[in-house]
A and B are shown apart, each in its own frame.
Chain A
Amino acid sequence: MRATQSGGQAVRERPLSPHITIYRMSRYSLLSSICNRAAGLALSLGLILLIAWLMAVASGPRSYAAGIAVLASEPLKACYALLLAAFAYHLVAGIRHLIWDSGRGLERRQSRVSAAWVAAVALLLALALILWAFLAGVGPR
């Protein structure tokens, strides 16, 4: 984005945030940051399901039975697995962001190492939560 000012005629093309197409995606740090956003957005959508569930409980036993039949349907069960994974990632990556906010771990090498740690810990946590939810059989009986 070079400024081409000739007699004040040419309009300077100002840079607009984030240059996703310009940054090198091979940088773990960038990828980990984008995944954190994606996970956050997924959890935002998950809030709709959470509130729908709470409203179903508040509507009494009969409405709840109808509501849970929808909320516990197969396609939504896949969503819960994704939401648990998103929760695990957003939690761990978010803690990394808080550590960054304290001024620590901002060197390039450190951030590459911490990105790998975040991925590993989040993966384990996600697997543990999904196994707990689906093997322990949480759900309407």
Chain B
Amino acid sequence: MTQRSPLGQVRGHGSAKEGVRHWWAQRLTSVALIVLGCWFVVSLLALPGLDYSIVAAWMRTPATAVALILFVAVATWHSQLGVQVVLEDYVHEAGMKTLLLALVTFAHVALAAAGVFAVLRVAFGAPA
């Protein structure tokens, strides 16, 4: 006879309907990236050159700035989800896996912050 309550026995052991969160986020970001990724590659290749004046003028356009921020955010998110799965699949040692997962997550958040900051800084016209 157990002293634990029925709720206590099942808590943490069953479906909380959150098991598909990672899977769903990966699909959702992939669909968004079909649009954002194609937009980014085509716009970049369509630029007449990569001189500072050309690139800065492109990034200052409001629609471009918003799309770039979305692209940076969604691409880093999707990348983090993907690299996470690869690490979970191929790194079997628990300590190393945890360490790498933490480092990879930090790196992706840092990249996203830097990318969004960079676009905003140019869009708001700070550097002359």
Contact = CB atoms under 8 A, between A and B. Distances in A.
Interface of A: 16-18, 37, 40-41, 43-44, 47-48, 50-51, 54-55, 57-61, 64-65, 68, 72, 84, 87, 91, 94-95, 97-98, 101, 129, 132-133, 136, 138-141
Contacts of A43: 75, 79
Contact of B76 (A47, A57, A84, A141): A47
26 contacts: A40-B79, A44-B79, A44-B83, A47-B79, A50-B72, A51-B118, A54-B68, A54-B118, A55-B118, A58-B122, A58-B127, A59-B127, A60-B127, A60-B128, A61-B53, A64-B55, A68-B52, A72-B50, A87-B37, A94-B30, A95-B34, A97-B30, A98-B27, A98-B30, A140-B49, A140-B50
A48 B107 CA distance: 10
B45 A138 contact: yes
Nearest to A139: B50
Interface of B: 27, 30-31, 33-34, 37-38, 41, 44-45, 47, 49-53, 55-56, 59, 68, 72, 75-76, 79, 82-83, 86, 89-90, 92, 111, 114-115, 117-119, 121-122, 126-128
Contact of B44 (A65, A94, A138): A138
Contact of B50 (A40, A68, A84, A95): A68
A54 B72 contact: yes
Contacts of A129: 41, 45
Nearest to B78: A40
B128 A141 contact: no
B51 A140 contact: yes
Given A98-B30, A129-B41, A40 B82 contact: yes
Contacts, number: 97
Nearest to B55: A57
Given A55-B114, A58-B117, A101-B27, A141 B49 contact: yes
Nearest to B30: A94
Contact of B47 (A72, A94, A138): A138
Nearest to B128: A60
Contact of A16 (B68, B72, B76, B92): B92
A15 to B, nearest CB: 12
